[in-house]
Structure 1
């Protein structure tokens, strides 16, 4: 499994370990942002809609910039982009800790954090991992890397809640900035993965423009975009608003933090299981079943009284289904179009994920401001789960046939 590259850190296991470490830190810090909503609301008077807008801006920024960052990663390697992303991430958290109102929160935790995350989350890191490992083990490797984000959520969310309770939200953001800096040395481990490491040289040579044209004419590519839009809506809505929703039901704030941690814990298992299934089963059917299962879990959660037990069961179930979409969706992109431009093409699909995330984070806050309830956001989540389950079924998932390209 050894591969060659521009740096000495191109062995698949090193790429996998460092990539998983980066995703662990970046996603662990990010998934705790919902815990800052109430403290910031109480101290600065920033409404839930305004805070939700900041997370929505962050989500949208990550999505809009991701195809371009993915293209840079495909051309120059992932290491430099991950290093810059880690530095910007830390800076954005420091600026958020210094914010005095909604504008500062939106610029720091919104715009700058979103831009920083483009270099240290799934697209850039999974692009490196996808090229570093053999095709028959790609799903499992991507699943392990994705699980790193969930491990970070399980590890850092309760720590973040404890730090906020002990020191305050500003000081906790400064501590999180220091943690984010650990991504900078890890970026060295995902550098130098050459494109020759994983896709066959027997395939016709293809330019980026040809790859984009090919994907744009493939119906399955757009169906994957629709499905991943739904995933983004679910993840952003729940991660941003679940702690506040549970508090509104009279539950202790610690229950919300525990719920986010459990989502992370069970997604470690879910990401691995769905990553493994991406190597063993037909991906589109597993992906469809996952979305249908999400809708069923939400329906059951809303059907019972809100207690610490039902919150725990919901978090565990939705956590198992949380990011299993990532190895399946990215695996389908690589399976259909190859991995030469995996970061670019998955970056486009991920952009739709983030547009969905923008709407999930912002609209839920908007609905709450207007109605005093999250009911409409939950109902939309159920309907979207059904849509995503349906649109993944007809995807033509065979590798595209290519003639020799100039």
Structure 2
């Protein structure tokens, strides 16, 4: 690494951790951290906007955004200044107390989601924690006859035990069974299967408007409307997991907006804090909001002053800087450009949550090729690529990826063929 590159990646943490190469850091990682994620692809040390740099000074265009987390990119000046100011004022209080930022954020979330009167907010630290709270909410809608909770095949709601019971992937579930009972998974997008499954024994239906981990698979507005009709008729709750799709990811505050329905609850996280950990459960209407009462759920860090200040700053920046319109226009531009590339079979998604199906099982090799070329992408399946870049991605940055895409596919194709020999 040159002297200029060393200066580029200098961070305040270097004063504590010291400088090391990427290879040195990875060796230390493997000797000190649990291997639940495997070996990391790179050691990242600095970010600015949609760009990040690794420990060896290499620059990458971040088209994954921490898996839809870094809504405003990295080191957004307004968000970082608000976090710093709040931390210097009041960093943490127990849940015996509240803070102005916690109250203001709850009010703001209820306003932007057009929540009906009597709606309430519970703050957590992540998406899986928000879904754990939603799972408890569903249990509170249970009795001796109402014990079934419905989720979809392909669903991903988190890895803690209740959220894991809702998650469909067998490889995630099997090592930890028996999981909390009563959850059944029905076929994705099949309205008749949904109507057949929802009955008076159903406590709740959990849906992601767009399944991210399954390869960016959208549910139609008609499906969401049918889910609302079926759950209302059966006295069941409709809970929408907007952890990945909410807070502007699709060019709207909620991906479910166009369906014109009011769910009983939604969960949020990921982009809500602009990179700072926070999750939320919103219960819509006074009846649903009364299901969880004092002492039935809690958290030590959820809704702390710094996290809620970060979320308020993120929401303010999205509103004041025209971010939702940027998501719509750049997302449409990027999807159209990808669709025109040979070896792309299908492009799915909305806004800046994009799934790319390739014509061959080359997606893992393409992730590696992209890293080598300076792009961060993700492969949720053998022939599927997922993009979830910061919501501030520009058309010029999209063009940079589009120009490289044919060569990335060619490299991945050649690598896969060679490995198969």
Say whether the fold is shared (TM-score over 0.5).
no
**Structure with the greater alpha carbon radius of gyration:** 2
The one of the two structures with greater contact order (alpha-carbon pairs below 8 A, sep at least 6) is 1
What's the TM-score, normalizing by structure 2?
A: 0.24
Choose between structure 1 and 2: higher strand proportion: 2
